[in-house]
Amino acid sequence: MCRRTLLSFLLFGAAFFVAGCGPSRNKVNGKIVKDGQPFALSDKGVFVLSFTSADGANKTIYNATTKPDGTFTIVGPESKGIPAGKYKVQLTAMDPYPTTDKLEGKFAQADKSPLTVEVGKGELVIDVK
């Protein structure tokens, strides 16, 4: 009986330790602006927004849920958020969806997009000047 209790305690402790070892992730809120001003789409428009590691070390793509008013939340895989760090931004502003990108494809490919953000320092502002 005592041996079973000790084994259970050790297994629980190991599981707790392993679960806490990965990078912490948070859901991050932000907004998309154009030249510092709010950038909104019509009610038929859709922003498609994702983030990838700027240094390429992490291949995970972190998607955001967006609203036509330009606000977003990075939910990430399994809705667990995104770790702090520097990210390349991939963005299209389809209005009306799915035919016209209001940003003319300038930010549509993460490897060619000039947009980067630092996650972990509060709300994100993505300016598509």
- Give residue 18's pLDDT band: very low, low, confident or very high (50, 70, 90): very low
Alpha carbons 109 and 111: distance in angstroms, whole number: 6
**Structural domains of the chain, ranges and CATH numbers in brackets:** 25-127 (2.60.40)
SS3 content of the chain, % helix, strand, coil (to 5): 15, 40, 45
28-55: pLDDT as tens digits: 999 999 999 999 999 999 999 999 999 8
- Residue 115 burial (C-beta neighbours within 10 Å; 0-12, 13-18, 19+): middle
Q: What are the angstrom distances between the C-alpha of 2 and each of 7, 32, 113, 122?
A: 9, 59, 60, 48
Take residue 28 and report the two structure tokens written for it.
């991050």
pLDDT tens, 43-95?
999 999 999 999 888 889 999 999 999 999 999 888 899 999 999 999 999 99
pTM of the model: 0.79
